[in-house]
A = this chain, B = another copy of it.
Amino acid sequence: MMDTNSFQPDNAASLDDKTRGLINRRSVLGDAYRLFYRTPVHLVRGQGQYLWDADGTQYLDVYNNVASLGHCHPAVVAAVHDQMQALNTHTRYLHERILDYSDAILATMPEQIDRVMYMCTGSEANDLAIRIARAHTGGTGLIVTREAYHGTSALTSGASPALGGAQPVDATTWLVPAPDAYRVDEPDTGAWFAARIQACIDDMASKGVKFAGFLADSIFSSDGVLPGKPGFLQAALQTVHSNGGVFIADEVQPGFARTGESFWGFGRHGLVPDIVTTGKPMGNGMPVSGLMAKASVLASFSASTPYFNTFGGNPVSIAAAQAVLNVIHDENLLEHSRNVGQRLLSELRALQSRHSCIGDVRGAGLFIGLELVTNRQTKEPARALALDLIEALRNAHVLTSVAGPYGNILKLRPPLAFQNHDIDWLVGALDQCLSHLNA
């Protein structure tokens, strides 16, 4: 269900010649590639929260968390350029950058998390995390949410039901319903969710599968952006631990000040995970990812299994990652994300009062879900409207996309450079587009 926002070839006739020409040339990439939008966007430049297409049209980016600080942030550009001129090699030689960064990133974590390893993608981090959880517990059974996405390797694809299509969920992967406070009619979402996890573990046991761990991002991004009440995941953590499992916090989405309330998504819940994985925003576009863990949880794997990732932890990638940490600190982006996110949330709630199709608005920091329904009582998902809306927004030069099992939730996740004055553009465009769509 991830990929409801994608160009369909039968829409090619409506495109201008240049766009159609580029799309035709993409046949060389094979059929697994997807483009956003009925009318794809041909981007050539980015700065901060803005992108420009080949015609010079400026767009407001309300979607991309890879360029998390902002597109082409000068501090990251300079750090990479300086290090690329000096040295770029691997971790089998000594280098100070990786050690300084390791100290810095672990200083953002609970003290129990005292080890860090480096890869290039979030997929690689989650792939390794699952292997570490299995080595530590001796189990294989993994629990993820029903619309989770955790990566594109063989192992992580099998733990990513959001991929849908022909990608099967592994036999050792159990699916738990997401803690969706809007749709699950329970007074205590946390207790309800923990009970669902326990039911999965019990089902595993009945089938002779030993529980290894629970893997989730704390904002349940592809399940539809479900921040929930701070702290509600503590019950899930307790359930995982009381059953001998490992709690893996996938911070590829909510990490690096995104949720405004704490540097890491799990921090909103006061959790101490066993393993933390990162990716997209870590290097502001440089391919770098990491895995942080308690030494005791890492021990079984690392004592027995060599792990070497050629590009992982190279000085250039680490220079980018260090610049990201510095900028988050220097520009007070955690506080900024919280403040601008709160104002955006409140303006979206005001918009909700004018458009009955907006069933729910929820978020933490600059990570907001806007759920569209055909009827607020039945909460029937307005999937077609959501697709029409993101296309209308694209034509109003605001870029975002959809999430959730029904594809009816707008995922609003701009670069952290997003400012209060951008709210006017975004909310104004939403208002106009919804009015135009009679919604």
A residues near B (Cβ < 8 Å) are 2-3, 19, 22-23, 25-26, 28-36, 40-46, 51, 64, 66-67, 71-72, 76-77, 80-81, 84-96, 98-99, 102-103, 106, 114-117, 119-124, 127-128, 130-131, 152-155, 157, 163-167, 279-280, 285-288, 293, 295, 298-299, 301-311, 313-314, 316-317
Which of B3, B30, B115 has a CB less than 8 Å from the CB of A115?
Answer: B30
Task: Assess whether A152 is in contact with B28, with CB atoms less than 8 Å apart.
Answer: no
Residues of chain B lying within 8 A (CB to CB) of residue A114: 28
Residues of B contacting A303 with CB < 8 Å? Answer: 31
Pair B152/A309 contact, Cβ less than 8 Å: yes
**Residues of chain B with a CB closer than 8 A to A157's CB:** 131, 305
A302 touches B32 (CB 8 A): yes
Chain B residue nearest to A36 (CB atoms) is: B92
Find the B residue at minimum CB distance from A81.
Answer: B81
Taken together as a complex, chains A and B put the C-alpha atoms of A28 and B288 apart, in Å, by 18
Besides the contacts A28-B115, A120-B311, what 15 more A-B pairs have beta carbons closer than 8 Å? A22-B94, A25-B103, A28-B116, A30-B295, A32-B307, A33-B91, A40-B94, A72-B87, A119-B121, A120-B287, A123-B124, A131-B157, A152-B309, A165-B306, A285-B316
Given the complex, which residues of B lie within 8 Å of A66, measured CB to CB? 88-90, 310-311
Q: List B contacts of A72 (CB < 8 A).
A: 84-88
Closest to A77 in B: B84
A41: which B residues are within 8 A, CB to CB?
93-94
What B residues does A44 contact at CB under 8 A? 86-87, 95
* Docked-complex contact B124 and A308, CB < 8 angstroms: no
Question: How many copies are assembled?
Answer: 2
Chain B residue numbers with a CB within 8 Å of A131 are 154, 157
Give the residues in chain B near A301, CB-CB below 8 Å.
32
Q: Roughly how many angstroms separate A378 CA and B163 CA in the complex, as a whole number?
A: 55
Whole-angstrom distance from the CB of A102 to the nearest CB of chain B?
5
Question: Which B residues touch A95, using CB under 8 A?
Answer: 42-44
Q: Is B167 touching A305 in the complex (CB atoms < 8 A)? A: yes
Which residues of B sit under 8 angstroms from A121, Cβ to Cβ? 119-121, 124, 309-311
Please list 15 pairs of residues, one from A and one from B, whose beta carbons are closer than 8 Å in the complex, sorted by A's number. Answer: A2-B306, A25-B103, A29-B91, A30-B115, A30-B117, A32-B305, A34-B308, A43-B94, A45-B86, A66-B311, A71-B89, A72-B84, A88-B285, A285-B314, A287-B288
Given known contacts A28-B103, A67-B88, A127-B154, A93 and B306 CB-to-CB distance under 8 angstroms: no
Task: Tell me the complex Cα distance, A339–B299, Å.
Answer: 48
Q: How many whole Å from A147's CB to the nearest CB in chain B?
A: 14
List, in ascending order, chain B residues with CB within 8 A of A304's CB.
165-166
Q: Say whether, besides A22-B96, A41-B93, A298 and B86 are in contact (CB < 8 Å).
A: no
Task: Decide: A34 and B89 in contact? CB cutoff 8 A.
Answer: no
Contacts of A123 in B (CB 8 A): 124, 309
Q: Is there contact, CB below 8 Å, between B152 and A154?
A: no
Complex Cα distance, B285 from A89, in Å, reads: 7
Q: Check if B42 sits within 8 Å of A71, measured CB to CB.
A: no
B153 touches A35 (CB 8 A): no
For residue A359, give the distance in angstroms from its CB to the closest CB of chain B.
27
In the bound complex, residues from chain B placing their C-beta under 8 Å from that of A167 are 305-306
Q: Nearest chain B CB to A110's CB is how many angstroms away?
A: 15
The residues of B that contact A28 with a CB separation of less than 8 Å are 99, 102-103, 106, 114-116
Establish whether residues A94 and B35, one from each chain, have CB atoms under 8 Å apart when the complex forms: yes
Task: Please indicate the chain B residues that have their CB under 8 angstroms from the CB of A153 in the complex.
Answer: 124, 127, 153-155
